[in-house]
Amino acid sequence: MPLKKIPIKSGFNKQDTATAAEGQWIDGDFVRFRYGYPEKIGGWQQTTSSRLAGAAREILTWTAIDGSRYSAVGTNKCLFIYFEGAFYDITPLGTALTSCTLASTTSSTTVTVTKASHALVVGDYIRFTSPSLAGGGVTTFSNANFTTNTFEVISVPSNSTFTVTMPVVEAGTGMSGGSSTITTTPYVRIGPAFQTIGYGWGTGLWSGTTSGFVQNQLDGAINNSVTTITVDSTTGFPAAGTILIDSELITYASKSGTQFLTCVRGASGTTAASHTDNTLVSDASTFAGWGTSTTSASISLSPGLWSFDNFGQILVATIRNGKTFTWSPVAANPLTTRATVVSNAPTASIMNIVSDRDRHLFLLGTETTIGDTSTQDPMFIRFSNQEDISTYAPTVTNTAGTFRLDTGNFIVGAVQGKDYIFVLTNSAAYVIQFVGPPFTFSVRQVGTSCGCISQNSIIFAQGAVFWMGFGGGFFVYDGTVKQLPSLVEDFVFTTNGTNLGINYDASDIIYGSHNNLYNEVIWFYPKASSTQNDRSVVYNYSENTWTTMSLDRTSYADADTFDKPYATKYDSTMLPTTPTINGVTNLNGASIYYEHETGVNDVNAAGVASAIPAYIESGDFDLDIEGDGQYLMKINRFIPDFKILTGDAKVTLLLRSYPSQTQNTQMLGPYTVTSSTTKIDTRARNRLMSIKIENDSVNQNWRYGLFRVDIQPGGRR
C-alpha cells in the first residue's frame, strides 16, 4: 500500500472524545502552533539569584526619558524595581511606631519589642530607626544591627509585644525595663499570598485581619480529628474562642498552658484538615464582617494585589482596596527611594489606570468621600484633574470628576484600549472615552452577561480586548462584545471526574497577558484544589487556535521594553533573599523572575538547565473503507517529518480496538527519531490509532510537519 497522509488540524480539541476528535490534536503540554503545525515553546531563564519576598502579582515594564529600562514587580509583601540585572526594594512604609522599648536575654538572638496596640502580625516586615540603646554591658547590639536591614516579625505574644530575630547573639546582660528604645516602621500591608475565606467586606486592614490580633505556631503536626491542639504559647488568646489554621476555623472551649482544649474542628463551614508543625495559628475570635459580628465563611478575601500604570515615566501603583503610590526614576537616588503615597488621593481603591490620551488618573472602586475608607464603593470611579494626579475634588476650574457604574456588584478590572478605557464589572462591560469639556468623559455600556473573572485577566492585543468570563468562557471586544468559541472551554472551566477546571475560590489570582512574539494571549490560572496558578490556556488570535499547558506563572510582561517577555513564579515554601531580612522565614514564600522565549530549556540562576517536557497527542483515526472503522488497520511503517529537530524526539503510535479501551496498554514505541531518521518500520494491527510526539531531555527542540503512514486493511471484526 502507498503511504497515506494523515492531516491533523491545528489547535487542541478537548471538548470531544479522542475518537470524535479525528483529525485534530487533543492534548499536549509546552507546545504552540505556527503556520498550522505544532512546535515546542521557547525556554526560560532565571534573570538573577534574587528570590523576591512574597507572591508576585503584577509586572510593568517601561522606559524612562533618559532611555533607562525598568520593571516594577509587586508581590503581596513588597514592591520592587528591576534595573540593570538587580532588584531594589521600594516598598512604601506605614505609620511609624515611636517610643518602642526593647528587651533581650544574654546568649539569645531574640529581641522583644513592646508597644501598646502595635497592630503587627506574624510575618510582617518592619524597619527600625532611631535606636537608643542602654550601655554599660547591658547590650552588645549596635545601632547598625537594628538599622541596616529589614526585620520579619517572628511572633506576636500579645497586642503590646512582638519579637524579632537579631543578626548576632546578645553577649551583654540583656536589655529590660524600658532602658532601650527604638522607632518601628512597618512595611505597608498589601494582603495575603492566597485568596482565603473571609468575614465580610472591608475586614480589618483590607487583608482579612483585625488590628493587633494574636498569632502563634503549632507545636507539632495535627491530623483532621484531634481535639487538643498544642502551640508554642497561648498567651494573648481568649480563654475560649476561635482560631484559624490555614483555611480551617476551629473553636475551643478553654485553654491550659500551651494547649487549646475541647476543640471543634471545621467550624463555620470550613473543612477539617491536617496541618504541619509550625503552621501559623491565628486568633479569629474577633474577626467580624461589615457591620456585623460573625465568623461566616461565605465571603472570599482577595489576595494581596497591585495595579500598575505609568503617568509619563512615573510609576503609579495601587494596592487593591488600599492606597495609591508613585515612584519616579528621576528622583535623587531613585533606586534607594521608596514609593510614596499620592497626596489628596482616595485611600481605598480597587485599582488605578491612566487615560493615556488625555492624562487623567482613574481610581476605580474608590471612595465617595476622599480619605474615608468606610465610603469605598466598588462601583464608584474618580478621575484626577488633567495632568495633575494630586487633585481629585471636582471644581469649576478643573477636569476632575466622578461617576458610578450601574450594572454589576463590583468593578473587577480595566485596561487601556486604543483610545478608550475598557472597564469590566462582574457582569457588564463599559467603554470610557475622553470627549473634552464640559463632560470630559463619556461612559457607554457595551455588554451585559459578560463579566470578568479577575482584575488581571483583561488583555489588550492587536486592537481588541480579551478576557476570561466571570461565569466561564472567553470574551473579546473589537467594537462589539462577543464570546470566543473555544474547544478547550470545558477543560479550563469545568471540574468533572479527573478533569480539574479552575479553582473559583482562588480566581482572583488569574493573570492574563499578551505574547506579541507569537500572536498569543495567555491566561495563568489555578486548577481545582490549587491555591496558586499551576496551569495556563493560550489563544493564538492569528491562527485562531487554543492550547493548554502546565506553565505556572503568577504574572507576565510582554516583550516591549525588553526584547523578551518576563514572568514570575511563586513557591510558597521558598526562603526569600530580597530584600535582606533579619530572621527571615519561608512563611511568606518567594517569587523568581524569569526571562522567557530564550533557548529551549528551563535554566536556573546558576546556569543549570532542566528539560522542558513538551508533547502533543492527536485524536484517533481509522480506515474509511466501507465505513469508518469497519476494517482493522495493518500498520507497516511511518515517515517522520520534522521541520525543526534539534537533538532527539520520540514518536509513539497509540492503538486500541474500541474507544473505551486504554491506549497505553497497546502502543508502538516510543521510537527515538533523529534528524537522520528516514522511516520507522512497525508491525501493528488495530482499529484506532493516534500519534504522540514528545521530548524528555535538555537541548531538544522540534517542530512537526505531516504524518505519513503505510496502512492497509487488516481484516474485519
- Judgement on whether residues 261 and 386 belong to the same structural domain of the protein: no
Does residue 683 lie in a domain region?
yes
Dihedral sign computed on CA atoms, order 581, 585, 586, 587: negative
Q: What is the CATH number of the domain that holds 158?
A: 2.40.30.20
How confident is residue 344, by pLDDT bands cut at 50, 70 and 90?
very high
Q: Nearest Cα to 704, choosing from 37, 184, 32?
A: 37
Length of the chain counted residue by residue: 717
pLDDT over 70 for what percent of the chain?
A: 94
Q: How many other CB atoms sit within 10 Å of the CB of residue 627?
A: 9
Domain total of the chain: 4
What pLDDT score was predicted for residue 291? Answer: 36
C-alpha cell at 60: 510593568
Residue 457 lies in a domain: no
Count of alpha carbons within 13 angstroms of residue 147, beta-carbon side: 11
Residue 90 lies in a domain: no
Give the CATH number for residue 434: 2.130.10
Give yes or no: residues 222 and 306 share one domain: no
| Residues of the domain holding 11 | 3-41+613-716
**What is the rounded CA–CA span in Å between residue 673 and residue 694?**
10
The reply to whether 561 and 627 lie within a common domain is no
What's the distance, CA 27 to chain centroid?
24
The dihedral over CA atoms of 266, 271, 272, 273, expressed in degrees to the nearest 10, equals -150
3-class DSSP state of 677:
coil
Which pLDDT value is given to residue 223? Answer: 94
What are 255's strand-pairing partners?
260
212, 348: one domain: no
210: pLDDT confidence band, cut at 50, 70 and 90? very low
Where a domain ends, among 140, 163, 186?
186
* Domain annotation covers residue 92: no
The CA distance from 617 to 623, in Å, is: 19
Residues 371 and 443 in one domain: yes
Shared domain check, 647 and 547? no
Find the DSSP H helices in 541-591.
none
- pLDDT tens-digit profile of 15-34? 999 999 999 999 999 999 99
Contacts of 102 (CB under 8 A, 6+ apart): 111, 112, 113, 114, 133, 175, 180, 181, 182
CA 511 distance to own-chain centroid: 6
- How far apart are the C-alpha atoms of 570 and 588, rounded to whole Å? 10
* C-beta separation of 322 from 339 below 8 A: no
Question: 327 and 367, same structural domain?
Answer: yes
* Residues 86-142 pLDDT 10s: 999 999 999 999 999 999 999 999 999 999 999 999 999 999 999 999 988 999 999
In whole angstroms, what is the distance from residue 164 CA to residue 154 CA? 5
- Give yes or no: residues 362 and 441 share one domain: yes
> Is it the case that residue 341 has pLDDT exceeding 90?
yes
Q: Could you tell me where the DSSP H helices lie in 180-270?
A: none
pLDDT at 203 over 60: no
**Termini Cα distance of the chain:** 21
153 and 180 fall within a common domain = yes
| Boundary (domain end) residue, out of 295, 320, 351 | 295
Q: Kindly report the average pLDDT of the chain as a whole number.
A: 92
603: helix, strand or coil: strand
Over range 593-597, report the average pLDDT: 98
Which of 598, 626, 661 lies at the terminal end of a domain, its last residue?
598
CA dihedral 280→503→446→15, nearest 10 degrees, is: 170
pLDDT at residue 1, rounded to an integer: 55
Q: Do residue 291 and residue 307 come from a single domain?
A: no
**Residues 540, 419: one domain?**
yes
Helix (H) or strand (E) run with residue 196 in it: strand 196-198
The answer to whether residues 651 and 534 belong to one domain is: no
